[in-house]
Structure 1
């Protein structure tokens, strides 16, 4: 798992603009029907749209700060939406719940927080055990780009790359910069994020660093793991479309069925 968890109050500021994956997960939930289990649910970025679509969902996350942010977000939802969401505490490699599900989803690369093959296998085995016969697992990972990795290596090693500024809901904005260290043998990446919070007048009010450790997996790696965990009918999607995965793919989504 990551060395430091995301700051929950900044998570939606940074990742709230990511929207392109949400319709894919909502449509899957509609198609499968029944209560959904989401692992690594965080602040509810995908769980809440599923609930707003009329689908009951159990939102599991290991970090209390993230669960608290989700509970706070639920306060602004209708009574009907609040009634569809159960916020659960648990580690995706060790969870044990009384229910079985027709769909388990692990959005926004959360599966990659499992940085070892033992953790990856444990997570998939837990998913298999909690799916009803014929149930579906859906998750996504990033597709490593040699060009992107090269931008942090060689002469660029240790240099921070700055993202566009993010407006803060309280005024001012957030500057995010990062550098990544890639371990190609282990297929792990350590991302060091630097956050600078600025007031409206441009004065820095807070500065902090966070470290995020992630695995990276190619489609062949995922397929081997899924087959070993007892899944079949494995289908890959390029950037949440029906197109095949190719060199330009950024996000690899996958569905697999319990047999």
Structure 2
């Protein structure tokens, strides 16, 4: 989420419906299809493999409602779960209430902006910046500060891992015609809904404005409409590499998907892991 996203923004209210978890609660075939469409299938497994290889404690920047943090805590890792949106953290707390006491105890929730993060004494073995966290920072300075915060809280021999969209595969020009999503179902109400999105052209700061609304079909046949808006900044491989170098980090593993497939200019995502620069 952007740092200034209000609690009643539809992106927060429908987050778990848009980005379903295959690990938390019951999953269905439609959930798998939704993750495939968004290029997210396998992200929890990827970060779980990073944790298994490098250990904890783990710092997750942009934890959202816990779709990565909770599975990692179930694996036995202590997770410092950071998010700027208190409404997202409230959803995480509600999910943790259904977990065992041991899992609940392993998740340390922190309400802070990633770019300003300050957790005295934390030296994480693994720092995660998943699911476009860097793209949701409003400008390059904030993205660089988020990476600096990651480096600042990283143990000397620690590792980082992240993923962002590859901007070469995203539309760059304005499209004011509302693009409807595939129908989904709101897990809280059971009602079907469709998301409509409009995009601006990418501006000189490489920022694109995305707006739209969700139409949820009510049992009485009515439609409940909730609006959303966010900005995201295009970050290509060269830009990412430069920002990491500026905070003393370097990529040593790069892939185009969570399955480890080699990165190419046509890859949908940039999936990277690395360490402190020598």
By the TM > 0.5 criterion, same fold? yes
- 2:54 and 2:4 map into 1 onto residues whose CA distance is 35
Q: Deviations over 1:5-33 (max 9, x none)?
A: 45433210111143421100011011111
- 1:3 and 1:130 map into 2 onto residues whose CA distance is 24
TM score, norm. by length of structure 2: 0.85
Aligned residues: 253
- 1:66 and 1:144 map into 2 onto residues whose CA distance is 26
Q: Is the Cα–Cα contact under 8 Å of residues 3 and 211 in structure 1 kept in the other structure?
A: no
Measure how far apart 1:238 and its partner are: 0.9
5+ residue gaps, structure 2, are 21-30, 36-40
Asked if residue 15 in structure 1 is aligned to residue 19 in structure 2, the reply is yes
- 2:133 and 2:18 map into 1 onto residues whose CA distance is 16
- 1:121 and 1:3 map into 2 onto residues whose CA distance is 18
5+ residue gaps, structure 1, are none
Written as runs of structure 1 = structure 2, the 5 A alignment for 1:124-203 is: 124-145=147-168, 148-149=170-171, 153=174, 157-169=175-187, 170-200=189-219, 202-203=221-222
RMSD value, Cα: 1.8
Asked if residue 46 in structure 1 is aligned to residue 50 in structure 2, the reply is no
Written as runs of structure 1 = structure 2, the 5 A alignment for 1:25-36 is: 25-36=47-58
Q: Deviations over 1:72-103 (max 9, x none)?
A: 01011122211211111111011110211011
- 1:233 and 1:3 map into 2 onto residues whose CA distance is 30
Report the counterpart of residue 4 of structure 1 in structure 2.
5
Measure how far apart 1:122 and its partner are: 1.0
Q: Is the Cα–Cα contact under 8 Å of residues 226 and 256 in structure 1 kept in the other structure?
A: no
Q: Moved runs in structure 1, 4+ residues, more than 6 A?
A: none
Asked if residue 123 in structure 1 is aligned to residue 124 in structure 2, the reply is no
TM score, norm. by length of structure 1: 0.91
